[in-house]
Amino acid sequence: MIRILANDGIDPTGKALLEQAGYVVDTETVPQDKLIEALQQYDAITVRSATKVRQDVIDACPNLRLIGRGGVGMDNIDVEYARSKGVAVVNTPAASSLSVAELVFAHLFTGVRFLQDANRKMPAEGATAFNKLKKAYAPGIELKGKTLGVIGFGRIGREAATIALRLGMKVLAYDLHPFAVNIKLDFQGDISVDIPVETVTFDDVIQHSDFITLHTPFAAQPILGAAEFAKMKHGVGIVNCSRGGTIDEAALIEALEAGQVGFAGLDVFDNEPTPQAAILQHPKISLTPHIGASTNEAQERIGTELANLIIEHFSK
Ligand code: NAD
């Protein structure tokens, strides 16, 4: 009997698939310091980002045959070490791409119509302030016709570009690896249009975009800092739903104060889960607590894909 510890939870659809295959799935979270002891009884563990499966755990749990990551980033798993010890490591990199890309547009629509500020101020300020705020938020802008700069043109970057093109935006995209692709836009199932998108330079993206969205992996050095903000269009909107560390937060605050950056939408932060107050309280920043993949649809896809990968592995 295969026993699986889903230590950071698993969508009910994925759990049901595993149980139908005859596996035992436990979903009660074991704290990190009790993990080694608990894992003696399991063949596999599934995690999201919270539980860490490092070398010490892998060495101390000889029965462990598979580590499953629901989602993309595997920073919390010693992947190469696990594989060198014959422990399989699987993840579900594409399952949440659309949800993350949609969150980018939640932040963009928020920024261009001042929702982040309106939602903070309207409850507190009462009737007399209503007209003052109405005036303050009058210079909103539309996304249609504007240019979205996409840095990192992988799974999520491409989904974000697809949504932008559907909205009638232009796209300037840069990736470390040059590309030329056709983005297929399907309308109502029976009309489809191919839009060619090819790589431009990093400088083209930062100088000519009205909004810039980051979709790169974790970077040891920020990709956007003071020098990059200075080269951008005045009032540019910045969105980061990738990883904390990819934007220099201090430089972002300075650029927001100076008006060089018009607004920012952030799902990821330097100090998760306790981002700095200057970021949390800034009236020009729209905030979400790392919820890019947190939709019912993405969670169901993640659970189902993970269950199928686990079943495939143990059926070999
Ligand atoms: P991906 O691997 O498909 O794409 C990343 C792309 O970035 C690749 O094409 C790579 O060549 C490119 N790249 C790497 N370094 C670069 C650089 N310095 N400049 C330009 N391009 C660079 O990854 P993905 O699935 O699209 O995920 C992108 C990011 O989103 C990852 O950091 C991932 O951890 C993050 N993510 C966040 C959430 C969330 O909840 N906010 C959810 C899922 C993924």
SS3 182: strand
Residue keyed to tokens 């220099």: 248
Determine contact, residues 103/289, Cβ cutoff 8 Å. Answer: no
Q: Which of 160, 101, 157, 90 is nearest to 302 (CA)?
A: 90
- The DSSP output letter for 198 is E
With residues binned 3-state (H G I as helix, E B as strand, rest as coil), the percentages for the chain, rounded to 5, are: 40, 20, 40
pLDDT number for residue 194: 96
Strand duo 191-198 + 180-187: pairing: antiparallel
Looking at residue 208, its pLDDT comes to 98
Report d(CA 252, CA 261) in Å as an integer.
Answer: 8
| Nearest atom (ligand 1) to Cα of 223 | 18
Task: Kindly give the parts of the chain with pLDDT less than 70.
Answer: none
Tell me what pLDDT residue 243 has: 93
Indicate which residue's Cα is closest to atom 37 of ligand 1.
242
What does the buried/exposed string (b/e) look like for 194-224 if buried means 16 or more CB atoms within 10 Å of the residue's CB? eeebebbebeebbeebbbbbbbbeeeeebbb
Which ligand 1 atom is at minimum distance from the Cα of 151?
Answer: 20
Distances (CA, A) of 128 to 114, 116, 134, 137, 284: 19, 20, 11, 15, 23
CB neighbourhood size of 33 (10 A) = 7
Using an 8 Å Cβ cutoff, are 203 and 174 in contact?
no
Residue type, 295: T
At 127 the pLDDT is 86
Task: Kindly state the helix (H) or strand (E) to which residue 310 belongs, with its residue range.
Answer: helix 296-315
Pocket of ligand 1, candidates 162, 163, 175: which has the most ligand atoms within 8 Å of its Cβ, to mutate?
175
Distance of CA 241 from the midpoint of ligand 1 (Å): 9
Fold type of domain 3-93+296-315: Rossmann fold (3.40.50)
Query: How far apart are the C-alpha atoms of 199 and 149, rounded to whole Å?
Result: 11
Q: Which residue type does 129 have?
A: A
Atom of ligand 1 nearest to the CA of 179: 9
Q: What is the pLDDT of residue 45?
A: 98
Q: What is the pLDDT of residue 177?
A: 97
pLDDT at 226: 98
Please give the DSSP secondary-structure letter assigned to residue 177. S
The reported pLDDT for the residue numbered 80 is 97
Q: Residues with Cβ within 6 A of ligand 1?
A: 72-73, 93, 96-97, 100, 151-157, 174-177, 215-217, 219, 223, 241-243, 267-268, 290, 292-293
Pairing of strands 3-6, 24-26: parallel
Q: Atom 8, ligand 1: which residue's CA is nearest?
A: 154
Cα–Cα distance for residue pair 237/257, rounded to 1 Å: 13
What is the C-alpha separation between 94 and 302, in angstroms, rounded?
Answer: 9
**183 and 247 Cβ atoms separated by less than 8 Å:** no
- Determine the pLDDT at residue 190: 87
Looking at residue 126, its pLDDT comes to 82
From the CA of 93, how far away is ligand 1's center (Å)? 10
Residue 150 near residue 160 (C-beta atoms within 8 A)? yes
The string of pLDDT tens digits covering residues 83-123 is: 999 999 999 999 999 999 999 999 999 999 999 999 999 99
Q: To test ligand 1's pocket by mutation, which of 98, 155, 242 has the most ligand atoms within 8 angstroms of CB? A: 242
Q: Which residue's C-alpha comes closest to atom 35 of ligand 1?
A: 242
Residue 200 CA to ligand 1 centre (angstroms): 17
Ligand 1 pocket: which of 69, 99, 156, 288 to mutate (most atoms within 8 A of CB):
156
Q: What is the CATH number of domain 97-287?
A: 3.40.50.720
Q: Domain coordinates of the chain in residue numbers? A: 3-93+296-315, 97-287
CA of 165 relative to ligand 1 center, distance in Å: 20
